[in-house]
Structure 1
Amino acid sequence: MENIESDDDDDGITTSDFNFIGFTFLNNFKPFPCSVKYSHHWKKRQALIDEIIAHDVEAGDEEFDDEYSDLHSSFVTKASELRELQERCGEWKKGRWSKQEYDILKTNLKSYMKEFNITDINILLDNADKNIEFYRKIACNIKRPLFVVYRKLLRFFTEENYVGIWTREMNDRLVELHALHGNDWNTIGQIMGIGWATCYDHFRTVNINKKYTEGPWSSEEVDKLCQVMVREHGIEDCQLPSNVTWEMISRAVVTRSAMQCRFKWVMLLSWKLKGGEEKWTTSDDLRLIECLNEDEELEDEEDIDWERLAAAWPSARSKYFLRQKWASLKRTVPFSSSKIFRECVLYLVRHRAPALRRQLDSMAD
């Protein structure tokens, strides 16, 4: 299973934001029978499926205007295919989803279900391989590939993905199954009774098999990481080269995982190698709020050029560091997950910025 795009960030959106649906999303590309009881008689259900598929095939692109129809032309899953898609369609949005994107996704789902008077979304999802038009319509006007939209839905609507805190027994079982089945996450997920994406991400991001060291990095580990990064990519590109294979970097460091190496590099080492010394202060928080407020053309945080901002900011270790600081500020906004970008900025300007100025004034006295 290739890691196409990570949605590790907590978006602050929950299934309650989609409570008009009420379904369990499948945890496999190849549809298999769901455990839930369908609200339709099987024959009527199958007839409705055939009608929906026939309708979509006949309708094609004529009945909906997708701004990113080229991006949604096929269900791309492999890294090589994604590179070809990017060359053909250009860059798409990555990382954290905005509230606007969630609103579009919710509207698209509502419209499609209303069109066919569907109350059980499994009718569509159970036949996703035959009904690609469903995904194309659900992804309409969302600047992300179909597979990424699928992964987002998968995370929200697979009940098995919400497992709470992983116990030691669950961790041990996951390690045991991975040793037995390798990267066959579909099989592992079915045996665990947990969505395959959740199993994969938990195994990838959490040091459950104790293979890697935790806690502060030693000077020897830092030296190894710097040496392999400089050797493979050069200091000029040290902020974050686009072609880094972190698994390979991890093998060279030995004692740290790919995720640990990536985080250490983008959050600290690349900044130090470029001579960074200044620490992030209260005045930097205030400056960030003011910068985002002054750019009146910004309507979506995904449009922020974090790299440009970080380049002219001595205490910003990287664009990822700067974005993390914005995320910390946004968490001080009440109900930030239900607010659009501009509403969050306005709240910070009115409430957080004055408090920061008072704090700076008191420090100056």
Structure 2
Amino acid sequence: AEGIPRPWRLIYYRARKMFDPNNYKGRYSVEEKEKLKKYHKLHGNDWKKISEMMSRSNLSVAMKYSEIKSDVNYGPWSKEETQKLMHAMEEVIRRRMKVEDANSLPTSDKSERDVLVDCEKLCQKLPWTEIEAEVGTRYWRQCKQKWTTILMNKMTKGQQLYKGTKRLQSRIDLIKRLYEMKAEDANEVNWEELTDTIGPVLGTYVRARFHKIKVSCVPFWQKKSFS
């Protein structure tokens, strides 16, 4: 971990994830999904044991089970589902703000701060499994994607982002800014700082946009380093 400005434990987990061959086995087959359900009935949330039995990583089996553990909708979100998601998000964010601000802001300032929430609180480090349980009919990744879409629509006021030459220029600006950062890994980048290259968007959107550019424009991108 010497020379890397991160706690050794995070470096260890990151390296283990990167070099674990069980993380790169593609989609789950129907048979694997049935096995996963069967093993979960036998061993509960002992993902380490289940991962060994299925030759998949701990994270992979846990995430896949989250998707298939119950009847989940895959079509358009209903109005009721969206309302449940909004209610769950409101509760999570209010609870977080209450904990963070209880000892840091005067009482007179709390009502104003209650309305003005920065983007980090709205989209980072959220308890998605808890939110998934509140919604009930969608798994956590769907909830996260839907919430990002809702935020994006509010931030852009429903208008489409740059088109034509402006869109091309925004891509060039993004690549230039990333090059100037000289980051060795995507996780080292503060994507929120790059939002001005595209418009009123979230850092997660900028990161996804860069990934799309890389996949579509860089030959053999999987074999190349981030820098």
Provide the TM-score with structure 2 as the length reference: 0.71
On the 8 A contact 1:230/1:238 being kept in 2, the answer is no
- Residue 167 of structure 2 corresponds to residue 284 of structure 1: yes
- Distance in 2 of aligned mates of 1:341 and 1:305: 14
Match of 1:141 in 2: 3
Where 2:68 maps in the other structure, the secondary structure is coil
Structure 2 CA distance for partners of 1:260 and 1:293, relative to 1, 3 Å: same
Q: Which residue does the alignment assign to 2:191?
A: 306
2:154 aligned with 1:273? yes
Indicate which of 28, 32, 48 corresponds to 1:170: 32
CA contact (8 A) 1:276 1:317 kept: no
Aligned equivalent of 1:218: 78
Q: How many aligned positions are there? A: 200
Name the counterpart of 1:334. Answer: 219
The correspondence for 1:317, drawn from 185, 201, 212, is 201
Counterpart position of 2:116:
236
Residue 210 (structure 1) shift: 4.0
Structure number having the greater helix percentage: 2
Instruction: Show the counterpart of 1:70.
Output: none
Q: Which residue of 2 aligns with 1:200?
A: 62
CA contact (8 A) 1:299 1:341 kept: no
Change (3 A) 1:156 1:250: closer
CA contact 1:238–1:270 (8 Å) conserved in 2: no
| Alignment partner of 1:259 is 2:141 | yes
Contact 2:174 2:197 (C-alpha < 8 Å) held by counterparts: no
How far off is 1:296 after superposition?
6.5
In structure 1, list runs of 5 or more residues that go unmatched: 1-138, 343-365
- Tell me the equivalent position of 2:132: 250
Deviation at 1:322, TM superposition (A): 1.4
1:209 matched to 2:73: no
Q: Distance in 1 between matches of 2:59 and 2:7?
A: 17
Aligned-pair Cα RMSD in Å: 3.0
1:142 and 1:273, CA in 2 relative to 1: closer, same or farther beyond 3 A? same
Deviations 1:206-256 (A, max 9, x none): x22343211321222112212332344265337452453222222221111
Q: Which amino acid aligns with 1:307?
A: E
Match of 1:190 in 2: 52
Name the CA distance, whole Å, in 1 between partners of 2:179 and 2:205: 23
Counterpart Cα distance in 1 of 2:20 and 2:125: 32
TM-score, scaled to structure 1: 0.47
Question: 163-172 vs 188-197, which deviates more?
Answer: 188-197
The structure with higher relative contact order (CA 8 Å, sep 6+) is 1
Structure 2 distance, partners of 1:238, 1:225, is 19
Quick one: which amino acid aligns to residue 2 of structure 2? C
Q: What is the identity, as a one-letter code, of the residue corresponding to 2:134? A: A
Q: Distance in 1 between matches of 2:118 and 2:76?
A: 21
Describe the superposition over 1:125-153 as per-residue Cα deviations: whole angstroms up to 9, x where unpaired. xxxxxxxxxxxxxx332334333333344
Q: Deviations over 1:239-278 (max 9, x none)?
A: 4524532222222211112222122112x11223345222
